[in-house]
Amino acid sequence: MRPHIRRRRSISARWSVRTAFLAAILFVLSGLGHRFERIETPEFLWLLAIVAALALLALLLAVKGFTSVWRRGDLGFPSAFWGMVIALIVLAPFATTLYQALMLPRIYDVSTDIADPPELFATGQRTDRMNPVVNDKESRGLQSSAYPQVTGRRYDGSPDRILTAVNTVVANNGWTIIQQKGEPGVDEEILLEVVARTWLLGFTSDVVIRLSDEGETTYVDMRSVSRYGIHDLGENADRITAFMTALDSEVQGAQPEEETTQPDQ
């Protein structure tokens, strides 16, 4: 009678799926903690680094598990398979981030006016741990080349009407108004500082919207500065472009309709 040979279970495969699950759970919990402001951004970035390391480890263990299954006939193919799948899902956002970091300029401060960007004026919003706010000529040059679509807007109408449209778009985006400097009809320049957060993970940027009274028209500039990270991955340029597009629609929709009938002769 031929003796029964017991196949051993691959330890690498088993630990692959366990490590992948740990990476996924840590990713979700830390992301929720940061989104709801229970975890500060610097600590969250360290957690993301740990998540990426765990996911890479799970992927390597899965490969080793597959090797054991193939060469020695060990048990554990399902564990290695799901460990690889979960690890790849967790690593997908990191791969996208890496691609954006390589393809886009390494800047975190974007403005429609690269010569005289609107000034962040609200006190107490930024700390020493955050990115410094400087008008760097090199970064402005990189912005001009990479994001030519980031431009200001000139609208027919007084600053008070345009400010109403600006406030509406800010509210629609769910941003928080911190402070307003200047008043329509009194000051030639009005600054509105708000805090904007990304919709998924809640990364924060300080935004300044400037309205310049030109008489019959009002010119709107905008600046968006990431609080953390030397690379904004194009987020600030996208934010400004989307805001200006929404403001175009809001201003156009708020214009009074022209009379369609002619006055009596």
At residue 261, the pLDDT reads 31
Instruction: Look at residues 103, 131, 150 and tell me which one is the last residue of a structural domain.
Output: 103
Query: Is the per-residue pLDDT at 7 higher than 70?
Result: no
Query: Is the per-residue pLDDT at 1 higher than 70?
Result: no
At residue 102, the pLDDT reads 95
pTM of the model: 0.86
pLDDT tens-digit profile of 130-177? Answer: 999 887 888 888 999 999 999 999 999 999 999 999 999 999 999 999
Tokens of residue 133, six digits: 């706010």
Q: Which H or E element spans position 153?
A: strand 153-156
Listed residue (173, 114, 175) closest to 145, CA to CA: 114
Tokens of residue 51, six digits: 């998540």
CA–CA distances in Å: residue 24 to residues 35, 48, 58, 247: 16, 11, 11, 39
Other beta carbons within 10 angstroms of residue 203's beta carbon come to: 21
Instruction: Look at residues 69, 103, 137 and tell me which one is the last residue of a structural domain.
Output: 103
At residue 149, the pLDDT reads 94
pLDDT band at 262 (very low <50, low <70, confident <90, very high): very low
pLDDT tens-digit profile of 172-202? Answer: 999 999 999 999 989 999 999 999 999 899 9
Q: Which domain holds residue 249?
A: 109-254
237-240-245 Cα angle (round to 5): 125
Identify residue 222 by its one-letter amino acid code: M
CA–CA distances in Å: residue 177 to residues 63, 167, 189, 244: 50, 9, 17, 17
Q: Are 104 and 233 in contact (CB under 8 A)?
A: yes
pLDDT tens-digit profile of 93-121? Answer: 999 999 999 999 999 999 999 999 999 99
User: What CATH number corresponds to the domain at position 222?
Assistant: 3.30.310.80
Indicate the number of domains in the chain: 2
Listed residue (66, 143, 178) closest to 58, CA to CA: 66
As a whole-number percent, the residues of the chain with pLDDT over 70 amount to 93
Query: Is 123 part of any domain?
Result: yes
If asked whether residues 17 and 55 sit together in one domain, one would say: yes
Residue 12: HSE in the Cβ half-sphere, 13 Å Cα cutoff: 16
Q: Are 175 and 192 in contact (CB under 8 A)?
A: no
If asked whether residues 195 and 85 sit together in one domain, one would say: no
52-55-59 Cα angle (round to 5): 135
Query: Is 259 part of any domain?
Result: no
Listed residue (9, 23, 28, 10) closest to 58, CA to CA: 23
At residue 265, the pLDDT reads 37
pLDDT tens-digit profile of 35-69? Answer: 999 999 999 999 999 999 999 999 999 999 998 88
